[in-house]
Amino acid sequence: MSALEIRTSATLASIFGLRMLGLFLIVPVFAVHAHSLPGGDNATLVGLVLGIYGLTQGMLQIPFGIASDRFGRKPVIVFGLLLFALGSLIAALAQDIGWTIAGRAIQGAGAISAAVTAFIADATREEHRTKAMAMVGSTIGLTFAFSLIFSPLLYRSIGMAGLFGMTGVLSVLAIGVVLFLVPPAPQLPPPDSSLTARQVILNPELLRLNVGIFVLHAVQMSMFVVVPPMLVTQGGLPPTELWKVFLPALLISFALMIPSILYAERRGKLKTVFVAAIVLLIVVQLGWLVLPYGLLTMSAILLAFFVAFNILEASLPSMVSRVAPPGAKGLALGVYNTTQALGLFAGGALGGLLSKHYGAAAVFGFGLVLSLVWWLVARGMRELPKRGQASASATA
């Protein structure tokens, strides 16, 4: 990667990480904090505080993606960060659960994920795009690990208002990063007036990839409904020490992901590595179903999951950006990010339902079925060209 590609990818990945920080920092501690708020004894409203962020994100990814195609990436990202800062301020000043919900909804309304990933796609050559997207995936993973470790400590030090206020200040600083550190956005091709949104949304190759991101995050969220309690009850870990399993698994998985991505790009084997990662995801679900639940075994299964997850998380947006028509990357990535949000919602909701009524095995069986469906869908996808070759354009 050139110095300019690295600078663009790294700065935009840091902004993407900030968005996820706004989600992850609150999750470990809000259920405890909610009892101090009027209305916080209502579990439905507490769940709404946590989930409304993803809901408004999902609803607005496509409009923000289309806007970034029309008005440029940077203006849309700055506007989204301003909304995020406003929502953080409202949540920090909230005196009851209702205003906290409103603040979280406005935080999520700054749906810049599609614009950021489209910007990265614009600014990187195809042969390096998966590595650039891997920077984003690594940032998200590290943000998740940071939140597990430091969220309880920060909550004890500065309280929930301080956590919301901190994310608001960081979002304002991120606007400075966008304006002064992120290199200028490349000139976008003019939108193709003959290309309709319907043609982009229903493009067969893009549909395969959108099915994939839905499944990946549905499986992830459903797993994390049941796996942390299993680590506590069957692995013997105190809740405050779960990071001792998650953090090493994340860091090792990043190291194992890099050779796979380099091989895929250099040899033109992106589809091969991609499908192999789906197979590993299937093996993970089988492992949860058949292996004994000792701490070492569960740690190994989690490591395998994060390897598969990180390869797929890095590959999917890169592939979407390569398949999408040049003048509609923002729209295509908006649909992609919306589908991702729907996967998170479906995985959490169905994982909780299955766990409550049928136990953890039903959750892993659900993940296995979804992963098998994805494998069948992905087998028919086209192999993208190796580095240096032009990517095939999307067809209606």
Q: What percent of the chain has pLDDT over 70?
A: 88
Over residues 129-147, mean pLDDT? 73
What is the pLDDT, as a whole number, of residue 76? Answer: 92
To 10 degrees, the CA torsion angle through 241, 242, 248, 250?
A: -150
What is the pLDDT, as a whole number, of residue 371? Answer: 96
Domain that holds residue 142: 1-182
- Same domain for 59 and 203, yes or no, is no
Amino acid at 120: I
Give the model's confidence band at 298: pLDDT under 50 very low, under 70 low, under 90 confident, else very high: very high
Closest residue by Cα to residue 245 from 29, 311, 257, 253:
253
Over residues 302-320, mean pLDDT? 87
Between 315 and 128, the more confident residue is: 315
Domain boundary among 182, 216, 232: 182
Say which residues have a Cβ less than 8 Å from residue 242's Cβ, sequence separation at least 6: 148, 228, 231, 232
- Cα distance between residue 73 and residue 80, in whole Å: 11
Report helix, strand or coil for 193: coil
What is the pLDDT, as a whole number, of residue 261? Answer: 79
In a domain, 155, yes or no: yes
Most confident of 15-29, 49-63, 76-90, 340-354: 76-90
- Cα distance between residue 137 and residue 16, in whole Å: 9
- Same domain for 162 and 229, yes or no, is no
In a domain, 389, yes or no: no
How open is the CA angle 240-295-261, to the nearest 5 degrees? 90
In a domain, 215, yes or no: yes
- Same domain for 94 and 207, yes or no, is no
User: Per residue in 259-282, pLDDT tens?
Assistant: 887 787 777 778 888 999 999 999
Find the radius of gyration of the CA atoms of the chain.
Answer: 20
- Same domain for 157 and 251, yes or no, is no
Q: Is the pLDDT score of 157 beyond 70? A: yes
- Same domain for 136 and 266, yes or no, is no
Over residues 95-108, mean pLDDT? 89
Q: Is the pLDDT score of 395 beyond 70? A: no
Q: Is the pLDDT score of 390 beyond 60? A: no
The tokens describing 115, both together, are 């614009």
- Same domain for 164 and 202, yes or no, is no
Most confident of 1-10, 237-246, 290-299, 342-351: 290-299
In a domain, 394, yes or no: no
Say which residues have a Cβ less than 8 Å from residue 314's Cβ, sequence separation at least 6: 130, 131, 133, 134, 136, 137, 257, 261
Give the model's confidence band at 308: pLDDT under 50 very low, under 70 low, under 90 confident, else very high: very high
In a domain, 373, yes or no: yes
- Mean pLDDT, the chain, whole residue set: 82
Q: Is the pLDDT score of 255 beyond 90? A: no
What is the pLDDT, as a whole number, of residue 393? Answer: 39
- Same domain for 137 and 9, yes or no, is yes
What is the pLDDT, as a whole number, of residue 191? Answer: 59
Domain boundary among 182, 210, 233: 182
Between 307 and 351, the more confident residue is: 307
What is the pLDDT, as a whole number, of residue 392? Answer: 39
- Same domain for 218 and 177, yes or no, is no
Between 381 and 152, the more confident residue is: 381
User: Per residue in 158-195, pLDDT tens?
Assistant: 888 998 998 888 888 888 888 888 888 777 666 555 66
Over residues 233-249, mean pLDDT? 81
Give the CATH number for residue 222. Answer: 1.20.1250.20
- Same domain for 224 and 347, yes or no, is yes
In a domain, 149, yes or no: yes
- Same domain for 247 and 370, yes or no, is yes
- Cα distance between residue 180 and residue 42, in whole Å: 44
Domain boundary among 182, 211, 240: 182
Closest residue by Cα to residue 110 from 76, 141, 83:
83
What is the pLDDT, as a whole number, of residue 49? Answer: 77
What is the pLDDT, as a whole number, of residue 394? Answer: 35
State the total domains in the chain. 2
What is the pLDDT, as a whole number, of residue 354? Answer: 86
Say which residues have a Cβ less than 8 Å from residue 369's Cβ, sequence separation at least 6: none
Say which residues have a Cβ less than 8 Å from residue 212's Cβ, sequence separation at least 6: 278, 312, 316, 374, 377, 378
In a domain, 187, yes or no: no
Between 305 and 196, the more confident residue is: 305
Candidate from 96-100, 137-141, 356-360 with smallest mean pLDDT: 137-141
- Same domain for 331 and 199, yes or no, is yes
In a domain, 395, yes or no: no
- Same domain for 39 and 119, yes or no, is yes
Give start and end residues of each alpha helix (H) in the chain: 3-24, 27-33, 43-71, 73-93, 97-109, 113-123, 126-176, 197-201, 204-233, 243-267, 270-290, 295-323, 329-358, 360-378
Report helix, strand or coil for 353: helix
